Amino acid sequence: MKNNILLLTGIFLIPLFSCQDKSERSLVETETNVIIDIPIIAESNDEKSGLNTFEIDYTFSGENSYSVSNIADSEKGILKIQKVKPANGTVLSIPGIKKDYEIYSLRLEWGYKSSADNDFIMFDSIDLLSVENTLKDGIFSVNLDEAIIQLINSINSQESSIMVKITGNSNFNLSSIAKLEIPVIVVSETITPHFALF
């Protein structure tokens, strides 16, 4: 009887010792949004120069950086990022702008860097007043689908970072938080573990 018990126990243990990890690695594409908030601070030119000026009342600027590793989202299955590709719908929006307000100049500077770079590699700045834009319900919006392609295509790992900077002049105090929303397609590696018998 005792021998039978030992025999049965051995039979049940065989699968545990005769299987190996056959985990599979595969690439999946997931749609998500990169959202970068850009705090903008305006400074009166009268305070800056001590002179009365009527042509340009305020100078404003703001910048922020974003680590691509922040795109990782276990709930969406985005874990080990391999590549980020641009999708349609990139919009920069700046709230708090009334119809009688005037922006004299508005430029966007941006760049990227990888883990091997010490400084950001910058692209040509963009005159945001010369591209497609709208003003609705106090929100100034600019479509940046064409401009974003080169930047996003430069991202090749989750160690990459993006830097965005806004500068300009206006006749009002543009102290606000701009938002850059970039729809992207993330290519990430997934690991599916399963076991197989020898």
Structure tokens at 112: 């990227």
Percent of the chain scoring above 70 in pLDDT:
74
Predicted TM-score of the model (pTM): 0.74
Question: What gap in Å lies between CA 114 and CA 159, rounded to an integer?
Answer: 6
107 Cβ neighbours under 8 A, 6+ residues apart:
125, 126, 127, 128, 166, 167, 168
Query: What local confidence, expressed as pLDDT, does residue 193 receive?
Result: 53
Query: What local confidence, expressed as pLDDT, does residue 139 receive?
Result: 94
pLDDT at 180 over 60: yes
* Residue carrying structure tokens 């985990």: 23
**What's the mean pLDDT when you consider all of the chain?**
80
Quick one: CA torsion of 169, 175, 181, 186, rounded to 10 degrees?
Answer: 100
DSSP letters for 80-112: EEEEEEE-S--EEEEE---TT--EEEEEEEEEE
Q: Return the beta strands (E) in 58-197 as ranges.
A: 58-67, 80-86, 91-95, 103-113, 121-122, 126-127, 133-136, 139-143, 161-170, 176-192, 195-197
Give how far Cα 149 sits from Cα of 75, 118, 161, Å: 27, 23, 15
C-beta atoms surrounding 158 within 10 Å? 21
Mean pLDDT, to the nearest integer, of 140-145? 92
